[in-house]
Chains A and B, each alone.
Chain A
Amino acid sequence: MKILLTDVYRIADLARIEIQTDEAEAVLGQLSNIFNLIEQMQTVDTAAIEPMSHAQEMKLRLRQDVVSEFDQHELFQSIAPQVETGLYLVPKVIE
C-alpha cells in the first residue's frame, strides 16, 4: 500500500499532531519505509487463522458493583495545568 502526502496530513489530524509543510516529505519517507517493512505480512495466507488479541486466553474478571475508590479530586487536580473550583479549564468550545 502506497502512502501519500494527503494520508500523512489526514492521520496527523486524526492523531492531533501537527505536521509542518517543511517536514511532511521527510515524515512520508520514513512512514513509507516502515510500511514497506510491514508489507511483508501479506506474504502469508492467514485466511483460516483466528486473530490473537492478547497474550493470555483469559476472561475479563467482574467485580462487585460497589464503590472502591474514595474522592481524591483535590490531589489529582493539584497537578493539572489549569483548574478552577474543582473543574479542569479548557478553551471555550461553545460560544
Chain B
Amino acid sequence: MLGQSLKYLSAQLNDKKISSVELTTEYLNRIRSLNAKLNAFITINEALSLEQARMADQLIAAGNASPLTGIPIAQKDIFCTKGWLTTCGSKMLANFTAPYNATVIERFNQIGAVNIGKTNMDEFAMGSSNETSFFGPVKNPWDIHAVPGGSSGGSACAVAAGMAPAATGTDTGGSIRQPAALCGISGIKPTYGLVSRFGMIAFASSLDQGGPMAKSAEDLALMLNVMVGFDERDSTSLQREIEDYRRDLEKPLAGLRIGLPKEYFDQGLNDEVAHAVTQAIEEYQKLGASVIEVSLPNAGLSIPVYYVIAPAEASSNLSRFDGVRYGYRAKQYVNLDDMYKKTRTQGFGQEVKRRILIGTYVLSHGYYDAYYIKAQKLRRLIANDFTDVFKRCDVLMGPTTPTVAFDLGEKSDDPIQMYLSDIYTSSVNLAGLPGMSIPIGFGKKGRPIGLQIIGNYFKEAQMLNVAHQYQKVTDWHLQVPIK
C-alpha cells in the first residue's frame, strides 16, 4: 500500500481489502524504519494513531466513510492537536501539549482521517531548509546530504519517502511549494483566506496559509476538499460556496493560456532547473496550451518587501511567548523583565531571534513609515502586476526554486542566500494568490526539480486540472527515492 494514491487507498478501505488499522500500522512501521535517518517526524504516537484508525474502521463499517476516512495523514507540527505535543519546531514549545485542535485538525478528525504523526519543520516556520528546527534538520530522501527545503520540510520528506500518503503544510513565503519542489512531490498553497488559520501557530498573519502536500494533483484535490472551508474563529476566513476541487481535473487543456514571467527566467536561474522547466512547458504546448511571455516588473522587490512585512508581523505574533502561560520558562531570573528576556533568549533559536529583531526595528518609532508602510505600498504594486498579467493568461508558470536542493550546511551561515531560495514564491503570498509546485524532473545529482504554477484568486480547481493533465502524460510524480 505504501506509495499508493489517496484514491486507491480509499477504494481499498471501502472495499474492505484492508482496514485502517492495518494501513496505519503499515505506515507506522515505515516511519519506524526510516525516521532515525530522515528525521521527518518530531512526534509519533502509535496509540493515538491506532485509536483513530479503529474509529475510522467503525465509520467505514457503518457506511459513513468519505474519501479520506481511515487514511493516515502527517500533520505539520504547527497545527495545534489536542493531546499531542505541538512544538512548532521550537525549544519554546518543546513541552507544549495543545489543549485544543486547530480547525484543520478538526476537519480531518471529523471525516475520520488518521493523524500518523507531527512533522518536523523550521522553527516557527522561519527557514527554507529545515535546519532551524530545534529537533534537528530533516534529510532529503533523494540524497541525505541535501536539505529537504522548508519550512514544511518534514511533511515533504514524509510524503516523498512513503512515510505518509499525504501531509499538511503551511506557506508564508514558499514553505509548501519550495520543499515540495526539493523533495519531488506536489503541493499547493491556496488563495489566502480559504484554509482556516485557527490553531495554526502564527508566523506572519497576513501571509500564512495552510495547504496540502501529496504525490499528485489528484491527491491534493482530495485533501483540499477536507481543508478548505469557512471558519468563524478565523477573522480572515472567507465565506464562499463549497467547491469540489476534483471537478475540473479531467478537462482538456486546449486553449489554455500560459504566461511565462520573464523575471523568473533571468540570470539567477540555474541551468538544469531552466532546462527542466522549458521541457515541461513544451509538454504543455503538446497538450494544446499556448504560451506568452509576460512581465512582473516589481517581482525583484518581493524579497526585500517580504523581509520587512513577515518579520514585522512575526515580531508582534511572537511577543506572546513570555514564559507565563505555556511553553518554556527560564530556570533562573531576578525579576519579571529578566524572566521574559531569559525565557525568550533561551527559548528561541538564532533565526527566529534575527527576524524578531528585524521586525521590531521596522515597526519602531521613526522607522515605521520608511520601512513598514513603504513595504505595504510595494506589496500593492507586486499584487497589481499579477492582476495585470491575469488579464492575458490563465495561469503563470516558472521554476519553484532557482536551484535544486542545496547541501545541508551550505547556506545555514548566510541568511541572505537562504532568503533568496524563496525568490520565485514569496510574491505569491504577498498578493494572496494560490500557487503550487509539481515535480518535473531531476538535476544531474538526482535531486528533484519543481514547476511552479500560479493561478488567479480562487482558481485552485483550474490549477489542479493543469497539474493533473501533465501528470497523466508524465511519471515524475510517481518516482520514489526509497523503495
Q: Which residues of B contact A31 (CB under 8 A)?
A: 354, 357-358, 361
Q: Secondary structure of the A side of the interface?
A: loop
Structural contact, A41 and B304, CB atoms closer than 8 A: yes
Structural contact, A52 and B383, CB atoms closer than 8 A: yes
A5 interface residue (CB < 8 Å to B): no
A76 CA / B99 CA spacing, docked (Å): 6
A-B pairs with beta carbons under 8 A, tally: 160
A3 CA / B358 CA spacing, docked (Å): 11
In the assembled complex, the CB of B87 is this many whole angstroms from the nearest CB of chain A, namely 13
A55 in contact with B381 given A34-B358, A81-B324, A93-B336 (CB within 8 Å):
no
A39 CA / B303 CA spacing, docked (Å): 11
A50 interface residue (CB < 8 Å to B): yes
A79 CA / B15 CA spacing, docked (Å): 43
Interface range, A side: 35 or more
A37 CA / B375 CA spacing, docked (Å): 13
Q: Which residues of A contact B323 (CB under 8 A)?
A: 81
Structural contact, A80 and B325, CB atoms closer than 8 A: yes
A46 in contact with B381 given A15-B315, A72-B99 (CB within 8 Å):
yes
Q: Which residues of B contact A11 (CB under 8 A)?
A: 357, 360-361, 364
Q: Which residues of B contact A82 (CB under 8 A)?
A: 329
A12 in contact with B357 given A56-B238, A80-B324 (CB within 8 Å):
yes
In the assembled complex, the CB of A95 is this many whole angstroms from the nearest CB of chain B, namely 11
Q: Please pick, from B232, B329, B415, B431, the residue contacting A55 in the complex, using a CB distance under 8 A.
A: B431
Q: Which residues of A contact B235 (CB under 8 A)?
A: 60-61
B307 interface residue (CB < 8 Å to A): yes
A52 in contact with B96 given A7-B361, A17-B341, A34-B415 (CB within 8 Å):
no
A2 interface residue (CB < 8 Å to B): no
In the assembled complex, the CB of A18 is this many whole angstroms from the nearest CB of chain B, namely 4
Structural contact, B377 and A52, CB atoms closer than 8 A: yes
A79 CA / B92 CA spacing, docked (Å): 13
In the assembled complex, the CB of B349 is this many whole angstroms from the nearest CB of chain A, namely 12
A53 in contact with B99 given A16-B341, A44-B381 (CB within 8 Å):
no
Structural contact, B206 and A53, CB atoms closer than 8 A: yes
Structural contact, B383 and A79, CB atoms closer than 8 A: no
Structural contact, B193 and A50, CB atoms closer than 8 A: no
Q: Please pick, from B338, B358, B360, the residue contacting A14 in the complex, using a CB distance under 8 A.
A: B360
Segment at the A interface, from B33-41, B267-275, B366-374, B461-469: B366-374
A76 CA / B96 CA spacing, docked (Å): 11
B335 interface residue (CB < 8 Å to A): yes
In the assembled complex, the CB of B55 is this many whole angstroms from the nearest CB of chain A, namely 22
A30 in contact with B378 given A56-B432, A58-B238, A91-B335 (CB within 8 Å):
no
A34 CA / B362 CA spacing, docked (Å): 12
In the assembled complex, the CB of B254 is this many whole angstroms from the nearest CB of chain A, namely 32
B241 interface residue (CB < 8 Å to A): no
B43 interface residue (CB < 8 Å to A): no
Q: Which residues of A contact B94 (CB under 8 A)?
A: none
Per-residue contact bits, chain A 54-68, to B (CB 8 Å; 1 contact, 0 not): 111010110100000
Closest chain B residue, CB of each to CB of A39: B304
Q: Which residues of A contact B432 (CB under 8 A)?
A: 54-56
Q: Please pick, from B97, B329, B381, the residue contacting A81 in the complex, using a CB distance under 8 A.
A: B329
Q: Please pick, from A14, A38, A88, the residue contacting B324 in the complex, using a CB distance under 8 A.
A: A88
A17 CA / B298 CA spacing, docked (Å): 35
B54 interface residue (CB < 8 Å to A): no
B348 interface residue (CB < 8 Å to A): yes
Closest chain B residue, CB of each to CB of A75: B99
Q: Which residues of B contact A44 (CB under 8 A)?
A: 298, 301, 378, 381
A60 CA / B95 CA spacing, docked (Å): 34
A76 CA / B98 CA spacing, docked (Å): 9
A51 in contact with B380 given A31-B358, A38-B371 (CB within 8 Å):
yes
**19 A-B interface contacts by CB (under 8 A):** A7-B361, A16-B340, A16-B341, A17-B341, A17-B348, A17-B356, A17-B357, A34-B416, A35-B358, A38-B307, A41-B378, A42-B374, A46-B378, A49-B377, A52-B380, A54-B236, A56-B193, A78-B99, A82-B329
Residues of B within 8 A of A (CB): 95-97, 99, 192-193, 206-207, 232, 235-236, 238, 298, 300-301, 303-305, 307-308, 315, 319, 322-329, 333-342, 344-345, 348, 353-354, 356-358, 360-362, 364, 367, 370-371, 373-381, 383, 415-416, 419, 429-432
- Please name 16 further chain A to chain B contacts, defined as beta carbons within 8 Å, in addition to the given A37-B303, A55-B192, sorted by A numbering: A11-B364, A15-B344, A15-B357, A18-B341, A30-B415, A31-B358, A37-B304, A37-B419, A41-B378, A49-B381, A51-B376, A52-B380, A55-B207, A56-B193, A56-B238, A88-B324
Q: Which 8 A-B pairs have CB atoms at the shortest separation, nearest pair first?
A: A55-B432, A51-B376, A55-B192, A52-B380, A46-B377, A81-B329, A49-B377, A15-B360
